Amino acid sequence: MKLSWVAGGLLLFLTISACRETDLESQITVTGPAPVATLTSPATPITIEPTAISEHRPPTVTALSTAPASATDTPVPPSPTPTVRPAEHVSVEQAVYSESECSDKYPCNEDFAAWERRLRVAPGFVGSVFARVDDFPTSLTFGPAGRLYVAGRMGTIYAIDERGTVTEYADGFLVPTGIAFQPGTEKLFVSNRVIDTNVGGEGRISVVEDGHITHIIQGLPCCYIGMHGPNGIEFGPDGFAYVGVGGRADHGERLLEPAMGEQDDLTSLEASILRFSPDGEIVELYARGFRNPYDLAWDGSGRLYATDNGRDPDPATGESPGDELHLVIPGGEHGYPYFECSVCFGIPEGVEVIAPLWETIPHAAITGITAYTSDAFPAYYDDLFFVLWSAFEGAQKVVRFSPDTGQVSDFATGFAQPIDITMGPDGSLYTVDYATGIIFKFQPELETDLSDSGPGREGT
């Protein structure tokens, strides 16, 4: 993510304390340390430069040159694609800023009716406030019994029932960023941090089950400008989990003297999509070249997509690229650190960089993504919905993208800083806002009960 995003709320993202104690911690036990995972796929290894910052050693990893063939004994097959005419793309207007007693642009966080009035959504859908958490959300996912789970930057994961009632589910994490349940289980996988420093930070993958937290993978690269690290987690049709991991710098440069600014060697884990077994014993490098892949999504046809944040502005020209939406190609190079700019290092001879499917405007901060795989609204099947997080006009919205046609449209606006989106069991879409803690629900208009359009409640 770009340093220039500090305007409009990013400063909070970088400075908020990420460790808050609650009574829930006394009910949770932690198992560790994590076992050392070994990547088993045969390929040419990547040069690793050890940092020796943490007491935990990272997994030994080699590059994955072809799509992995192994799978667990609990595969999740993709759903068949419905043969329905796709819905037309219709962009909605950007919501107009309006002063309140809390802000010169936005309603107060607890004024749900005002936030609902701000929403603009594509024809056929209606938006409403579903719930709110008193935190700075980073991601959300659905779990067992149809409950919604939200990770908060301050260290807590919340559970929300169908009525919008919020309870604390787990606590004590350092910047939990990605969460996902292993299908068919009550195991919640969480990407989080061990050492939250700009240079030499460390991330990990943990599992919450039956009140216990087990750290299964440690030593992941983290946490350049407070943002790059292990991010969104998504389980694939092969039963393995996939996680995006950011690069250790902006464009592959060294961050410390005496060689500051010179080209660094890539470690085997950074700027990647990793594939790992649910027990953490197998860790594989699935694809490379992602500067900061915030989130992942599998569609119903078995395709994996990733959102990725572009490099910082060129210090010589001020030129700044947009962020990117990628179709992830196993074993492929998707960009980082092979950029063109006055301080970048270019593309080496013989390296083929895979172009993104779509680019945003500069500084849009593309973050959460989901693929629509429900039959509740089949005209949207396999379309991608992702959010632009930056707090300025031109971002602050949910975007719809149709991979088969390349068509794109603004699906919903009216947010402050939308950071993640997911699909519910009923086919509705849920978006969470980082700045306000509000979770918005978007559902087909004909199925909406206008007599109960908002929760009128808040949980902590």
List helix spans (H) across 294-430: none
What is the H or E stretch that residue 12 is in?
A: helix 10-15
* 49 contacts 265 by C-beta, under 8 angstroms: yes
Residue 32 CA to residue 283 CA, distance in Å, equals 18
Q: What share of the chain is helix, strand, coil (3-state, %, to 5)?
A: 10, 35, 55
**What pLDDT does residue 460 have?**
34
Which helix (H) or strand (E) segment is 159 a member of? strand 157-160
- The pLDDT, as a whole number, for residue 391 is 86
Distance CA 422, CA 442 (A): 10
Q: Give the model's pLDDT for residue 46.
A: 29
Residue 310: name the closest of 386, 261, 247, 231 by CA. Answer: 247
Distance in angstroms between the alpha carbons of the first and the last residue of the chain:
29
pLDDT of residue 445: 83
Which helix H or strand E contains 206, and what residues bound it? strand 201-209
Which regions of the chain are under pLDDT 70?
A: 1-84, 446-460
- Give pLDDT, residue 427: 94
> What per-residue confidence (pLDDT) applies to 66?
39
Residue in 367, 365, 369 with CA at minimum distance from that of residue 419:
367
Domains in the chain, CATH or no CATH each: 3-452 (2.120.10.30)
Decide: 386 and 398 in contact? Cβ < 8 Å: yes
φ, ψ of residue 418 to 5 degrees: the values are -65, 130
Distance CA 99, CA 118 (A): 12
**Under 8 Å between Cβ of 294 and 231:** yes
pLDDT number for residue 67: 42
Using alpha carbons, select from 284, 283, 351 the residue that is nearest to residue 64: 284
Q: Which of 128, 133, 110, 153 is nearest to 437 (CA)?
A: 133
pLDDT tens figures, 52-79: 223 333 444 434 433 444 444 434 444 4
Q: State both tokens at 10.
A: 């990013």
* Number of alpha carbons in the 13 Å side-chain half-sphere of residue 11: 2
Spatial CA neighbour of 220 closest among 152, 164, 277, 269: 269
Query: How high is the pLDDT of residue 146?
Result: 94
